[in-house]
C-alpha cells in the first residue's frame, strides 16, 4: 500500500466544476502516472491518497474557493512542509465549505485512488482560532467517513488520539487507522499505542509510523530514539503494520516493525 499526496498524483490537468461558473483547473501532478504504474504491478498495489480534510494547505489549487471566515489558525507542521490553516468544522459553519472538500473526494475517485487518508480532523484538540465543541469534531470525522464510503473509497482515520474517545468512536466508521508517534509517546510515558485497541479488536488494520526525530518535529523539537524502542511498543499493542521513518520521509530511514 502506498500513501501519496492527492495533488501530486493527478495524471493530467483536470477541471473541478463547482456549478458556480468558476471552475478550478488542477494541474498535472509531480508524480503523474504513478497510480497507473502501481496498479500495473503483480499483485496490484493499493494507492491511498492523502487529503487534508480538517485543514487547508494554502497553496493548493482550490484554496481560494474556501471562504475566509472558515480559515483559522496555523497548523503545526514540520519545517519544510506546506503551511496549513485549520478549518472551522463546527456543524453550523461547515455547510459553507464542505462541498468544496467533497470535490476533492470526487477527484480522488476520478483519478483512480483506491482510498483516502483524511488528516487533521481533530480540530477541537488544537488552538485553531475557533471554539469547536468536541461533538462537532466527532461528527466531522463521521461525515468524512460517510462521504468517502459514498464514493466507494476505502477511508482511513488519521491519528485522533488527542481527542478523547475519538478512536473508540472512529473504529465503527472508518476502515483502518493510521497513527503517528504512538511508540514515541509510549516511550515518553504519555498516551501511546494502546489507544489503537478499538481498531485491532474489530480486526481492522492499524498502520503505525514512528520517526527518527533527530530532525525537528512540528514543534521544532528533537527526541532522538531507536527503531527498537518504538517498534517494541507498536508490537505490544498488536499492531501488524508498523514503520520507523525519518521526519522527511526519505528512503534513507525505513525499518519495518515486525510483529
**Residue range 81-105, pLDDT digits in tens:** 789 999 999 999 999 999 999 999 9
User: What is the percentage of the chain residues whose pLDDT exceeds 90?
Assistant: 81
**Residue range 221-233, pLDDT digits in tens:** 666 678 998 899 9
Neighbours of 226 (CB within 10 A): 12
223 secondary structure, DSSP code: B
Nearest alpha-carbon partner for 254 in 227, 214, 223: 227
**Contact indicator for 85, 128 with CB cutoff of 8 Å:** no
6-13 average pLDDT score: 98
106-130 average pLDDT score: 96
pTM over 0.85: yes
How confident is the model at residue 224, as a pLDDT? 66
The whole-angstrom separation of Cα 130 and Cα 100 is 20
Residue 213: which pLDDT band, with cuts at 50, 70 and 90?
Answer: confident
Buried b (16+ CB within 10 A) or exposed e, 117-151: bbbbbbbbbbebebebeeebbbbbbbbbbebbeeb
Nearest alpha-carbon partner for 245 in 232, 50, 231: 231
Amino acid at each position: 500500500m502506498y500513501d501519496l499526496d492527492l495533488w501530486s498524483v493527478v495524471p493530467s490537468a483536470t477541471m473541478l466544476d463547482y456549478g458556480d461558473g468558476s471552475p478550478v483547473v488542477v494541474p498535472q501532478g509531480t508524480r503523474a502516472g504513478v497510480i497507473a504504474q502501481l496498479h500495473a504491478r503483480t499483485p496490484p498495489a493499493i494507492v491511498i491518497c492523502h487529503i487534508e480534510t480538517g485543514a487547508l494547505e494554502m497553496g493548493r489549487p482550490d484554496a481560494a474557493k474556501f471562504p475566509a471566515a472558515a480559515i483559522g489558525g496555523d497548523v503545526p507542521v514540520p519545517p519544510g512542509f506546506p503551511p496549513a490553516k485549520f478549518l472551522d468544522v463546527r456543524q453550523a459553519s461547515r455547510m459553507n465549505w464542505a462541498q468544496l472538500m467533497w470535490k476533492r473526494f470526487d477527484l480522488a475517485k476520478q483519478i483512480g485512488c483506491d482510498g483516502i487518508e483524511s488528516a487533521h480532523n481533530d480540530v477541537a484538540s488544537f488552538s485553531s482560532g475557533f471554539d469547536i465543541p468536541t461533538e462537532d469534531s466527532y461528527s466531522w470525522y463521521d461525515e468524512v467517513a460517510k462521504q468517502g464510503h459514498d464514493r466507494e473509497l476505502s477511508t482511513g482515520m488519521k491519528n485522533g488520539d488527542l481527542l478523547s474517545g475519538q478512536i473508540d468512536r472512529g473504529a465503527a466508521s472508518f476502515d483502518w487507522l493510521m497513527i503517528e508517534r504512538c511508540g514515541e509517546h509510549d516511550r515518553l510515558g504519555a498516551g501511546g499505542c494502546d489507544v489503537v485497541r478499538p481498531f485491532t479488536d474489530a480486526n481492522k488494520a492499524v498502520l503505525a509510523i514512528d520517526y527518527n526525530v533527530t530532525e525537528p518535529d512540528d514543534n521544532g523539537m528533537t527526541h532522538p530514539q531507536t527503531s527498537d524502542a518504538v517498534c517494541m511498543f507498536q508490537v505490544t499493542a498488536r499492531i501488524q503494520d508498523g514503520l520507523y521513518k525519518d521526519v522527511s520521509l526519505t528512503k534513507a530511514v525505513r525499518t519495518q516493525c515486525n510483529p
